[in-house]
């Protein structure tokens, strides 16, 4: 969740740290802080509650200036302890050691009691402070900062990525990772660390992606990496394909708006080299994919949040198209029970970042307990923990997604899952050439259909104005559209703070209809499918209760307009693959413009962070 940046360079590192923090702010923005080892070998720190700009203002007011060639910085998403200056990172022990941390130390209370008995004072409510005290204590009996850290991490239970500096070792920054991402950036200006490569793109394109259990000792001219057994090891240097303009706003007001409008290209990029004119290429899923898919008898999907909603759509597709029994479960629930996993199951994990803690741990635990299964991940980040844990990988090629509210990652996940449904169906001879060609044609039409839908933004802005004084909303859909309604409700609640829920339209009479009144708008999705007549009946039930309604329909659905109902035609001739992907677009736009009207922070909604790397 939290963002980390640090490094050692030839010049003053403070501007680099602040620039990197601004790019990492999507990972946490409750508070931010920086520590720099000054030229007179003292740790100089500044911390501020709120956004990075508050920290920048604080630093500008400080005298003497915070400057030096070695430093670490942090933007926080609060777990232990409320957002406050004293809880902000970096933490310092006896003016000697300073730490930034992403993750959770689960046994911090036990360690805290021991450290209090040893005479350590605590100035924060965070779990992180036990880390800095542990390192300070270990330095008394260690030959180096690296050795001290390698010693203390063995006492931690939980997850962490750490950046550590000490006035006793002025030329070094030491890092460690377990369960939380951390990379090293290599530049002619120096060597750097970060939670995400976007923090360092204006400095370097060369990165080392640390693996689980790695530690590293970094100086101006050297990087020495050790694996989880403390053995020195080489890790590959990789060149990033990301460009600075991919993470800049350009002419857009917010990243969410930019990313909504990037969806046509994101879909093109995701489909590229994976389909021909009429064929889904099995090779896109990996060398052994065809054999694995052919032997698959059951599918289990695990995911969280938006990715879970994508998986719900995929369950319909996999059972309808591939005729494959499919289950889906929220990862945080799945990992803490004893699920029955049948032999020849394909376990599919879905995650934008590939670092979602619950999804990752669920995958690891199932792999340990069940040997006769195969794993596939659908992810947007090539060097993530999930991709390293999975046999098969399908990258979504959505590009960087900075806004906390996922948009293009959702639609590219759906496009990827559509490819997967066809691929598995082919391997089981459930999809013939004609059906495959028809689905591929639909996928090829998606970018144009999305572009056409985006052109209706002005109409959606008008709809959004009616939400100015609303505090509740209900979304309705049937079949795959129930999952799309869930995603629409999630987007609205995430960024506008309107309490919104989604229900299968057929479930109205079983309880949810009690919530409907004139102050609760109802948003319904009406594709032209076999459930359309049933949905129209459900809409009549809603209208008889006096609700304001918005219906997004296929042009061929012909939903009869009624009093206080707005019917908006999105497009026409949508099939089972294209319809879910197209109908989420107006819901994304509606959420975005309602949030603007409500005056919320669209890209950084309260209490949320982009990558959920802690439980």
pLDDT at residue 513 in the model = 82
Structural domains for the chain: 3-246 (3.60.20.10), 249-452 (3.40.50.10490), 456-603 (3.40.50.10490)
Non-local (6+) Cβ contacts of 604 within 8 A are 25, 26, 29, 51, 404
CA dihedral of 249, 252, 253, 258, whole degrees rounded to 10? -80
List the beta strands (DSSP E) in 181-281: 183-187, 190-194, 206-209, 215-218, 223-226, 232-233, 237-239
Give the 3-state secondary structure of residue 571: strand
What are the structure tokens assigned to 311, written together?
A: 């998986």
pLDDT at residue 308 in the model = 97
pLDDT at residue 356 in the model = 87
Q: How far apart are CA 488 and CA 492, in angstroms?
A: 6
Give the 3-state secondary structure of residue 379: strand
**CA-wise closest residue to 234 among 224, 249, 244:** 224
Q: How far apart are CA 429 and CA 12, in angstroms?
A: 63
Q: Answer whether the bond into residue 90 is a cis peptide, omega within 30°.
A: yes
Q: How far apart are CA 103 and CA 193, in angstroms?
A: 16
Q: How far apart are CA 258 and CA 140, in angstroms?
A: 51
Quick: pLDDT tens for 296-338.
Answer: 999 999 999 999 999 999 999 999 999 999 999 999 998 888 8
Residue 177 backbone phi and psi in degrees, to 5:
-140, 140
Non-local (6+) Cβ contacts of 261 within 8 A are 252, 454
What are the structure tokens assigned to 358, written together?
A: 């619950």
Across the beta sheet with 565-571, the strand order is: 499-504, 472-477, 522-526, 549-554, 565-571
Residue 342: other Cβ atoms inside 10 A: 12
Contact 176, 214 (CB under 8 A): yes
Burial class of 183 by CB neighbour count within 10 A (0 to 12, 13 to 18, 19+): buried
Burial class of 221 by CB neighbour count within 10 A (0 to 12, 13 to 18, 19+): exposed
Kindly list the catalytic residues: 2, 610
Angle at the Cα of 160 (from 11 to 400), degrees rounded to 5?
Answer: 65
Query: In whole angstroms, how far apart are CA 63 and each of 45, 58, 59, 177?
Result: 12, 10, 8, 34
According to DSSP, the β-strands at 158-166 and 97-105 are: antiparallel
Contact 526, 559 (CB under 8 A): yes
Contact 266, 410 (CB under 8 A): no
Quick: pLDDT tens for 512-527.
Answer: 888 888 889 999 998 8
pLDDT at residue 244 in the model = 66
Give the 3-state secondary structure of residue 327: strand
Contact 330, 351 (CB under 8 A): no
What is the 3-class SS of 78-125, one letter each residue?
CCCCCCCCCCCCCEEECCCEEEEEEEEECCHHHHHHHHHHCCCCCCCC
Collect the ranges in the chain with pLDDT lower than 70.
Answer: 1, 244-245, 544, 546, 573, 609, 611-615
């Amino acid at each position: 969740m939290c963002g980390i940046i640090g490094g050692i360079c030839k010049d003053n590192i403070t501007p680099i740290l602040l620039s990197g923090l601004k790019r990492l702010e999507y990972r946490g923005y409750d508070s931010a802080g920086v520590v720099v080892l000054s030229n007179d070998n003292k740790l100089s720190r500044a911390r501020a509650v709120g956004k990075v700009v508050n920290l920048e203002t604080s630093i500008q007011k400080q005298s003497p200036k915070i400057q030096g060639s070695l430093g670490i910085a942090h933007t926080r998403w609060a777990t232990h302890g409320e957002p406050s200056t004293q809880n902000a990172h970096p933490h310092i022990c006896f003016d000697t050691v300073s730490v930034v941390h992403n993750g959770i130390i689960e046994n911090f209370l036990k360690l805290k009691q021991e450290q209090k008995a040893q005479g350590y004072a605590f100035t924060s409510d965070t779990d992180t402070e036990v880390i800095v005290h542990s390192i300070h204590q270990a330095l008394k009996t260690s030959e180096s900062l690296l050795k001290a850290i390698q010693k203390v991490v063995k006492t931690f239970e939980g997850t962490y990525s750490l950046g550590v500096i000490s006035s006793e070792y002025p030329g070094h920054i030491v890092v460690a990772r377990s369960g939380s991402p951390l990379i090293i950036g290599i530049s002619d200006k120096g060597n750097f660390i970060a939670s995400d490569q976007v923090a360092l793109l204006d400095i370097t394109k060369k990165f080392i992606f640390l693996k689980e259990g790695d530690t590293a000792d970094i100086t101006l001219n050297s990087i020495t990496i050790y694996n989880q057994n403390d053995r020195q090891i080489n890790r590959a240097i990789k060149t990033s394909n990301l460009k600075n303009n991919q993470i800049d706003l350009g002419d857009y007001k917010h990243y969410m708006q930019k990313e909504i409008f990037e969806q046509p290209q994101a879909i093109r990029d995701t489909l590229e080299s994976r389909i021909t004119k009429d064929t889904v290429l099995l090779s896109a899923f990996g060398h052994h994919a065809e054999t694995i898919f052919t032997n698959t008898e059951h599918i289990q999907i695990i995911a969280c949040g938006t990715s879970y909603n994508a998986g719900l759509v995929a369950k319909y597709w996999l059972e309808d198209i591939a005729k494959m029994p499919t289950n889906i479960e929220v990862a945080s629930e799945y990992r803490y029970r004893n699920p029955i996993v049948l032999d020849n199951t394909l376990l599919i994990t879905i995650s934008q970042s590939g670092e979602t803690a619950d999804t990752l741990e669920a995958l690891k635990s199932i792999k340990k307990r069940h040997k006769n299964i195969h794993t596939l991940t659908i992810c947007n980040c090539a060097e993530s923990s999930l991709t390293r844990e999975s046999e098969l990988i399908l990258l979504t090629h959505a590009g960087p997604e900075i806004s906390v509210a996922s948009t293009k990652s959702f639609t590219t996940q759906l496009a990827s899952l559509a490819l997967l449904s066809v691929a598995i169906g082919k391997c089981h001879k459930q999809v013939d050439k004609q059906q495959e060609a028809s689905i591929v044609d639909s996928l090829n039409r998606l970018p144009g259909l999305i572009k056409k839908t985006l052109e209706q933004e002005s109409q959606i802005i008008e709809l959004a104005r009616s939400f100015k004084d609303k505090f509740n909303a209900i979304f309705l859909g049937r079949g795959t559209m129930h999952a799309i309604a869930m995603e629409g409700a999630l987007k609205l609640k995430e960024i506008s703070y309107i309490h919104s829920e989604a229900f299968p339209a057929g479930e109205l009479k079983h309880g949810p209809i009690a919530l409907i009144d004139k102050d609760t708008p109802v948003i319904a999705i009406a594709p032209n499918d076999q459930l359309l007549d049933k949905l129209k009946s459900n809409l009549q039930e809603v209208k008889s209760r006096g609700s304001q309604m918005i219906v997004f329909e296929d042009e061929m659905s012909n939903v009869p307009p009624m009093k206080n109902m707005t019917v908006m035609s999105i497009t026409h001739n949508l099939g089972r693959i294209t319809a879910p992907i197209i109908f989420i677009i107006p819901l994304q736009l509606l959420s975005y413009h309602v949030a603007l009207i409500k005056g919320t922070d669209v890209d950084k909604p309260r209490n949320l962070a982009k990558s959920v790397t802690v439980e």
